[in-house]
Amino acid sequence: MTVAVRFERVSRHFGDVRAVDDVSFEVQDGEFFAMLGPSGSGKTTSLRLIAGFDQPTSGHIEIHGSTAEGVPPYDRDVNTVFQDYALFPHMNVIDNVSYSLMVRGVDKAERHRRAEDMLALVKLGGYGSRKPAALSGGQRQRVALARALINRPKVLLLDEPLGALDLKLREEMQVELKALQRQVGITFVFVTHDQAEALSMSDRLAVFNEGRIEQIGTPEDIYARPSTPFVAQFVGTSNVLDAESARRLAGLDGPGSIRPERMGLILPGETPPAGAINVSGTIEDHQYHGASSRYQVRLEDRTSMVVVVGNTAAGEAVQADVGQAVTVFWRKEDMHRLSNDGAAE
Partner 1 sequence: MSSAALDARKTGGWLRWISTQLHSRPRLLLAVLLGPPLVWLGVIYLGSLFALLLQSFFSIDEFSGLVRKEFTLKTYSELLHPANLDIILRTVGMASSVTVAAAIVAFPIAYFMAWHASGKLKALCYIGVMLPLWSSYLVRVYSWKLILAREGILNWVFEQLYLTWLLDAILAIPVIGGPSLSISYMGTFLVFLYIWLPFMILPIQAALERVPPSLVDASADLGARPRLTFRKVILPLAFPGVVAGSIFTFSLTLGDYIIPQIVGSSRLFIGQAVFTHQGTAGNIPLAAAFTVVPIVIMGIYLTVAKRLGAFDAL
Largest Cα–Cα separation, the chain? 80
Q: Is 63 a binder of partner 1 (CB under 8 A)?
A: no
- Smallest distance from the beta carbon of 37 to partner 1, in angstroms? 20
Q: Is 86 a binder of partner 1 (CB under 8 A)?
A: yes
Q: Quote helix, strand, coil % in the chain, to nearest 5.
A: 30, 30, 40
Residue 175 half-sphere exposure, CB side, CA atoms within 13 Å?
5
Give φ, ψ of 85 to 5 degrees.
70, -35
**Between residues 91 and 343, which has the closer beta carbon with respect to partner 1?**
91
**Residue 130: alpha-carbon gap to chain centroid:** 33
Q: Is 17 a binder of partner 1 (CB under 8 A)?
A: no
- Smallest distance from the beta carbon of 124 to partner 1, in angstroms? 18
**Between residues 78 and 240, which has the closer beta carbon with respect to partner 1?**
78
Q: Is 187 a binder of partner 1 (CB under 8 A)?
A: no
End-to-end alpha carbon distance in the chain = 40
**Between residues 12 and 147, which has the closer beta carbon with respect to partner 1?**
147
**Residue 218: alpha-carbon gap to chain centroid:** 11
Given the rule CB under 8 A, which of 75-83, 245-253, 314-322, 330-338 is the region that contacts partner 1? 75-83
**Contact assessment for residue 212 and residue 42, using Cβ atoms and an 8 Å cutoff:** yes
**What residues numbered 119-178 form the site for partner 1, per CB under 8 A?**
147-148, 151
d(CA 40, CA 129): 38
**Contact assessment for residue 46 and residue 216, using Cβ atoms and an 8 Å cutoff:** no
**Between residues 7 and 99, which has the closer beta carbon with respect to partner 1?**
99
Per-residue binding string, partner 1, 90-119, x by CB under 8 A, is: x--------xx-xxx---------------
**What residues numbered 326-345 form the site for partner 1, per CB under 8 A?**
none
Give 30: exposed, middle or buried? Use CB within 10 Å, 0-12, 13-18, 19+: middle
Q: Is 84 a binder of partner 1 (CB under 8 A)?
A: yes
DSSP string of 120-131, one letter each residue: HHTT-TT-TTS-
Q: Is 215 a binder of partner 1 (CB under 8 A)?
A: no
**Between residues 79 and 293, which has the closer beta carbon with respect to partner 1?**
79
What letters, b where the CB count within 10 A reaches 16 and e where it falls short, cover 116-152? bebbebbebeebbebebeebeebbbbbbbbbbbbbbe
Given the rule CB under 8 A, which of 29-37, 85-93, 106-114, 182-190 is the region that contacts partner 1? 85-93
Per-residue binding string, partner 1, 28-57, x by CB under 8 A, is: -----------------------xxx----
Contacts with partner 1: how many residues (CB under 8 A)? 25
- Per CB under 8 A, residues contacting partner 1 are 51-53, 72-74, 78-80, 82-84, 86-90, 99-100, 102-104, 147-148, 151
